[in-house]
């Protein structure tokens, strides 16, 4: 196999709650000159602390762990400014998990049942800055991307401004534009503009759809 062409081995930190898995990966890395175990953690909070302390080149992160799951751990790592590689290492081949991980900032998604030699090869690719994905997930991810292109984006309350959220709540309560304007002390024309914008952002066709969606999501309170 081709080794990583750098002066120093790529340092890897493992965050996984299964001791046998951590030991197995550690023993695997010991056989490689260009991949070095920087540390390991069996619990996400400890892992986050070790990443800040050791600043490894790469984190090998389990998806399903008690307490904080892998996605939340990933988000915290990115939120803390960790710019190294983060590769999810999991048994889950569910489309939602794969897409969610990659959208949250993961640099790869590898399955735990993969061949050890293939895993080492993929880790080398990740260390070189490339996106890595278990071969069996390639078609799954392609299908997910096709679905996203063919389906309108799901409404997202976080895309709205504070004023648009306020107006959405009043829509959900059944108020007219005139009543909303009076309650929020703005002009009716301004309300119309905000309604138009929030419908576009939420990818909804009418104020009735917006009101129904807001009630279903519990946004009316």
Shared-domain flag, residues 196 and 88: no
Shared-domain flag, residues 144 and 75: yes
What is the number of domains present in the chain? 2
Shared-domain flag, residues 114 and 171: no
Shared-domain flag, residues 84 and 143: yes
For 164-206, what is each residue's pLDDT tens digit?
Answer: 999 999 988 878 888 899 999 999 999 999 998 998 888 887 7
Shared-domain flag, residues 130 and 205: no
Q: What is the CATH number of the domain that holds 204?
A: 1.10.10.10
Question: Does residue 217 surpass a pLDDT of 90?
Answer: no
**b/e burial code for range 139-177 (CB count within 10 A of at least 16 → b):** ebeeebeeeeeeeeeebeeeebeeebebbbbbbbeebeb
Give the pLDDT confidence score for residue 96 in this predicted structure. Answer: 82
Residue 200: inside a domain: yes
Which run of H or of E encompasses 37? strand 35-41
Are 10 and 127 contacting, i.e. CB atoms less than 8 angstroms apart?
yes
Question: Does residue 3 surpass a pLDDT of 60?
Answer: no
pLDDT band, very low/low/confident/very high, at 220 (cuts 50, 70, 90): low
pLDDT: which is higher, 112 or 99: 112
User: For the whole model, what pTM was predicted?
Assistant: 0.63
Question: Which residue do the tokens 């710019």 mark?
Answer: 83
Question: Does residue 109 surpass a pLDDT of 50?
Answer: yes
Enclosing domain of residue 162: 157-216
Q: What is the CATH number of the domain that holds 60?
A: 3.40.50.2300
Residue 2: both structure tokens together = 């081709």
Average confidence (pLDDT) over 125-150 = 75
Shared-domain flag, residues 23 and 106: yes
- Cα–Cα distance measured from residue 71 to residue 61, given in angstroms and rounded to the nearest whole number: 9
Q: How far is CA 131 from the centre of its chain?
A: 15
User: Of 129, 149, 169, which residue is a domain's last?
Assistant: 149
Question: Which residue do the tokens 């997202």 mark?
Answer: 156
Shared-domain flag, residues 28 and 130: yes
- From residue 53, alpha-carbon distances to 47, 48, 56, 75 in Å are 10, 9, 9, 17
Q: How many residues are given for the chain?
A: 221
Which run of H or of E encompasses 90? strand 85-90
Residue 4: inside a domain: no
For 59-92, what is each residue's pLDDT tens digit?
Answer: 999 999 988 999 999 999 998 999 999 999 999 8
User: Of 126, 149, 172, which residue is a domain's last?
Assistant: 149
């Amino acid at each position: 196999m081709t080794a990583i062409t750098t002066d120093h081995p790529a340092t890897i930190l493992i965050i996984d709650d299964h001791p046998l898995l951590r030991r197995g990966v550690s023993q695997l890395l010991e056989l490689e000159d260009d991949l070095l175990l920087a540390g390991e953690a069996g619990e996400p909070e400890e892992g986050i602390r070790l990443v800040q302390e050791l600043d490894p080149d790469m984190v090998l992160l389990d998806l399903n762990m008690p307490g904080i799951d892998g996605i939340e751990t990933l988000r915290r790592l990115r939120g803390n400014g960790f710019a190294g590689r983060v590769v999810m290492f999991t048994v889950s081949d569910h489309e939602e998990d794969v897409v969610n991980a990659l959208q949250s900032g993961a640099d790869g998604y590898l399955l735990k049942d993969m061949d050890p030699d293939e895993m080492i090869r993929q880790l080398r690719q990740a260390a070189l800055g490339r996106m890595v994905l278990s071969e069996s997930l390639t078609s799954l991810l392609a299908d997910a991307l096709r679905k996203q292109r063919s389906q309108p984006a799901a409404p997202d309350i976080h895309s709205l401004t504070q004023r648009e959220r306020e107006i959405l709540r009043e829509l959900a309560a059944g108020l007219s534009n005139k009543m909303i304007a009076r309650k929020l002390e703005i002009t009716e024309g301004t309300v119309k503009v905000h309604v138009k914008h929030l419908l576009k952002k939420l990818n909804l066709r009418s104020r009735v759809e917006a009101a129904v969606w807001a009630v279903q999501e519990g946004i009316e309170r």
